[in-house]
Amino acid sequence: MKESSGSSGLRTYVLTRLALALLTVLILLTVVFLLMRVAPGDPITAALGARLPAKELEKRKKEAGYDKPILQQYGEYLGQVVTLDLGESVTDNRSVTSILAENGTATLELTLAAFTITLLVGIPLGLLAGRYRDGPWDIGGRLYGIVIYAFPVFFLGFLFQLLASQVGWPTSGRASPIVEFDLNKVTHFYLIDTLIQGDLNAFWDVVQHLFLPALVLGLTISGVLIRLIRVNLLQTMRGDYVEAARARGVSERRVVVNHAFRNAMVPVVTVAGLQFAILLGGAVLTEETFNWPGIGSELVRYLNQRDYVAVQGIVTVFAIAVVAVSLLIDLINAFIDPRVRYR
């Protein structure tokens, strides 16, 4: 049976996007590799530069293979990525896979919690701001959106830490030290692990520790969402179908919630997906502020130590995650809106 031109167009679109995604990842990997080699310093000099003579340092660098031709190192690196063997960190001999499993889940847990807060705060406030244009909700929502976005995440973090410290709320880490030790880390998502363990006290301890960083990160991003939903809602409220609904006597509440809001959310889904990348970036600063043992804070640490292997491994996964999410959004959009794939 002959394929319809619609499915053929979609297939071409998907294949093109996949090819572009692979190219994007390759460019990212190459840039990371080159930047790590071009930047001054190496892991051995960073660790022992002020203790060992230059001759001994050179000997150690040679033994570690840092004097290999750069193309050879690049080839080995790409080979590792393809075979999903990201190697072991130079500075503390941890496998990159275990770094991603242990610290990556911490970041994911924080990011998901923050994203939930973003949605819980951003959607209602954006909706109210759009619905009651130029009213107190609108002015308040817009003001909040600008102010909260203007606050650097670490500043907001320190502010919240000081406030939380006054009332005895935990200000750093994923859990209390003893809870952390007692926890059987099955999934490395502490919320889930404490529930699997059936330890509600530990669960509450983890919730307490998660709340503050998630709130700070979530609020920071919520400002963008509010403004986006507001603008989209205002546009859709001017649509013919909304007028038609009103003319049919549909209540204003139903017009907003069932008609205007749903349509206003379509572009928001796209942007919300892209916020994932921003959240990952924001998580680095949040993790540093709240001593959250996520992949972001580990990345900073390894960068400071010039640990090529760990940095490359972490950034590779970051890059693939962001590209994958972008690809997913493109594909969802193409499925939802046929105009996208014919452009």
Partner 1 sequence: MTKVRSLLVLGAMLAAALVIAACGSDSSSSDSGGTIIRGTTDQPISYDPAGAYDLPSYDGTYSFYQNLLTIEPGGNKAVPEAAESCDFTDKDNKVFECTLRDGLKFSDGSDLTAEDVVFSFERNVKIADPNGASSLLANMKSIEAKGDGTVVFNLKQPDATWPLLLTAGSFGIVPSDVYPADKLQPSDQVVGSGRYTLADYQPGQQTVMEKNDSYDGADPAKNDRVIIQYFDKASALKLAVQDGDVDIAYRSLSPTDIDSLDGADGLSVISGNGTEIRYLVFNTKLQPGDNDAQKLAIRQAVAQTIDRQSIADNVYNGTVQPLYSMIPQGVEFANQGFSDKYGEAPDVNAAKQTLADAGVDTPVPLEVWWTPSHYGAASGDEYAEIKRQLDESGLFDVTLKSTEWNQYSTAAFTDKYPTYQLGWFPDYPDADDYTSPFYLPDSFLNIHYNNAEMNKLIGQEKSSADPQVRQQAFDRIGEIGAEDAPTIPIWQADQVAAVRDGVHGVEETFDPSFIFRFWLISKDQ
- Residues lying near partner 1 in the complex (CB under 8 A): 39-56, 60-61, 63-64, 90-94, 99, 102-103, 158, 161, 165, 168, 170-174, 176-182, 200-205, 207, 287-291, 293, 297-298, 300-301, 304, 306
Between 13 and 308, name the residue whose CB sits nearer to partner 1. Answer: 308
Between 26 and 178, name the residue whose CB sits nearer to partner 1. Answer: 178
Between 276 and 292, name the residue whose CB sits nearer to partner 1. Answer: 292
- Distance of closest approach, residue 100 Cβ to partner 1, in angstroms: 13
Between 255 and 299, name the residue whose CB sits nearer to partner 1. Answer: 299
- Distance of closest approach, residue 192 Cβ to partner 1, in angstroms: 13
Between 86 and 237, name the residue whose CB sits nearer to partner 1. Answer: 86
Cα–Cα distance between 222 and 57 in angstroms, integer? 49
- Distance of closest approach, residue 41 Cβ to partner 1, in angstroms: 3
SS3 label, residue 169 = coil
- Distance of closest approach, residue 175 Cβ to partner 1, in angstroms: 9
Strand partners, 95: 88
Between 91 and 222, name the residue whose CB sits nearer to partner 1. Answer: 91
Instruction: Return the amino acid letter for 194.
Output: T
Question: Is the dihedral angle over the CA atoms 101, 104, 106, 112 positive or is it negative?
Answer: negative
Burial class (CB in 10 A: 0-12, 13-18, 19+), 115: buried
- Distance of closest approach, residue 318 Cβ to partner 1, in angstroms: 17
- Distance of closest approach, residue 131 Cβ to partner 1, in angstroms: 20
Between 18 and 48, name the residue whose CB sits nearer to partner 1. Answer: 48
Cα–Cα distance between 260 and 240 in angstroms, integer? 11
CB proximity list for 70: less than 8 A, separation 6 or greater:
37
- To the nearest 10 degrees (0 to 180), the angle between helices 200-237 and 105-131 is 40
Question: Is the dihedral angle over the CA atoms 138, 143, 144, 146 positive or is it negative?
Answer: positive
Between 10 and 280, name the residue whose CB sits nearer to partner 1. Answer: 280
Q: Is residue 189 within 8 Å of residue 174, measured between CB atoms?
A: no
Q: How many CB atoms lie within 10 A of CB 124?
A: 14
Cα–Cα distance between 148 and 168 in angstroms, integer? 25
- Distance of closest approach, residue 62 Cβ to partner 1, in angstroms: 10
Cα–Cα distance between 338 and 327 in angstroms, integer? 16
- Distance of closest approach, residue 106 Cβ to partner 1, in angstroms: 9
Give the max Cα distance, the chain: 86
- Distance of closest approach, residue 159 Cβ to partner 1, in angstroms: 13
CB proximity list for 9: less than 8 A, separation 6 or greater:
341, 342
Q: How many CB atoms lie within 10 A of CB 73?
A: 17
CA angle 152–108–197, rounded 5-degree value: 130
Instruction: Return the amino acid letter for 67.
Output: D
Between 259 and 306, name the residue whose CB sits nearer to partner 1. Answer: 306
